[in-house]
């Protein structure tokens, strides 16, 4: 089983739609969780950290379920500019060793 | 601030050649990392450093070497390039071990 698993997509959604991505992780000792966004042929950029109580940043909501070992990202009112690959990232142990998922591709269409 | 700067952006190597991928950051971050990203795969950690003079192996270190003589610079050395090293290489930095990463623009390397 992969350490971090994501549905690769692509998710094709119309502008204005709500879309959700899930990510599962295998190590129950994982400590920190993040969503990064990566545009085509560009570097990953931090979208948001994921906190135990869940957190929201504008149209983006992240949730963590430690019991089931998954995190989710909800995007409301999708914009064309949200088209990108969303990377689930998990930190386990010290030294900031992060494990990246393979990413979920989102395409927002007119 | 320039952030994390990588050079070159693109490079084609022949099998057996060597090269150094440069990475420098101007944010005074202690932690620096090298990742590679293959198509359809997640980023894999090659090497990382928690400060000047300290480096450690990541998940896929074979075929690579690093050094960290200053806080700013963290070059990645390929000694004998192989086709399996064809990839996109990202350098990143963070101020603390728990902080999010700041990535450079990447170096696209092809070994033929």
pLDDT digits (tens, 9 = 90+) for A59-70: 999 999 999 999
Mean of all residue pLDDT scores within chain A: 93
User: Is A99 within 8 Å of B40 when comparing Cβ atoms?
Assistant: no
Question: Which residues of A have a CB under 8 Å from any CB of B?
Answer: 4, 8, 32, 34, 41-46, 49, 87, 91, 94-103
The sign one gets for the Cα dihedral A42, A48, A52, A55 is negative
| Peptide bond between residue B35 and the one before it cis (omega within 30 degrees of 0) | no
Tens-digit pLDDT profile for chain B (112 aa)? 789 999 999 999 999 999 999 999 999 999 999 999 998 888 999 999 999 999 999 999 999 999 999 999 999 999 999 999 999 999 999 998 778 899 999 999 999 9
Q: How far apart are CA B74 and CA B65, in angstroms?
A: 10
Tell me what pLDDT residue A94 has.
65
Contact status, residue A84 vs residue A75, Cβ threshold 8 Å: no
Q: How far apart are CA B1 and CA A88, in angstroms?
A: 28
Strand partners, A6: A23
List alpha helices for chain A, DSSP H. none
Question: Minimal Cα–Cα distance from B22 to chain A, Å?
Answer: 16
User: Is B41 within 8 Å of A4 when comparing Cβ atoms?
Assistant: no
Question: Minimal Cα–Cα distance from B83 to chain A, Å?
Answer: 20
The whole-angstrom distance between residue A43's C-alpha and the CA centroid of its chain comes to 15
User: Is A99 within 8 Å of B42 when comparing Cβ atoms?
Assistant: yes
The sign one gets for the Cα dihedral B78, A42, A37, B74 is positive
Neighbouring C-beta atoms of residue A14, cutoff 10 Å: 9
Between B42, B45, B105, which is nearest A101 by CB?
Answer: B42
């Amino acid at each position: 089983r992969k350490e971090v698993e994501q549905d690769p997509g692509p998710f094709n959604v119309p502008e204005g739609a709500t879309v959700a991505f899930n990510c599962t992780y295998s190590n129950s000792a994982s400590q920190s969780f993040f969503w990064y966004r990566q545009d085509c042929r560009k570097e990953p950029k931090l979208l948001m950290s994921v906190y135990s109580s869940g957190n929201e940043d504008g149209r983006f909501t992240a949730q963590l379920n430690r019991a089931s070992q998954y995190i989710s990202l909800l995007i409301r009112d999708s914009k064309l500019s949200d088209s990108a690959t969303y990377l689930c990232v998990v930190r386990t142990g010290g030294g900031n060793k992060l494990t990246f998922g393979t990413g979920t591709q989102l395409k927002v269409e007119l | 601030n320039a952030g994390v700067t990588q050079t070159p952006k693109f490079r084609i190597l022949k099998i057996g050649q060597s090269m150094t991928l440069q990475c420098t950051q101007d944010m005074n971050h202690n932690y620096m990392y090298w990742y590679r990203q293959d198509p359809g795969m997640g980023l894999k950690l090659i090497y990382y450093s928690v400060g000047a003079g300290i480096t450690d192996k990541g998940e896929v270190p074979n075929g690579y070497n690093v050094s960290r003589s200053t806080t700013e610079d963290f070059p990645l050395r390929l000694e004998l390039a192989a086709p399996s090293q064809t990839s996109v290489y990202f350098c990143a930095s963070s101020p603390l071990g728990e902080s999010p990463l700041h990535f450079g623009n990447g170096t696209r390397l092809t070994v033929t």
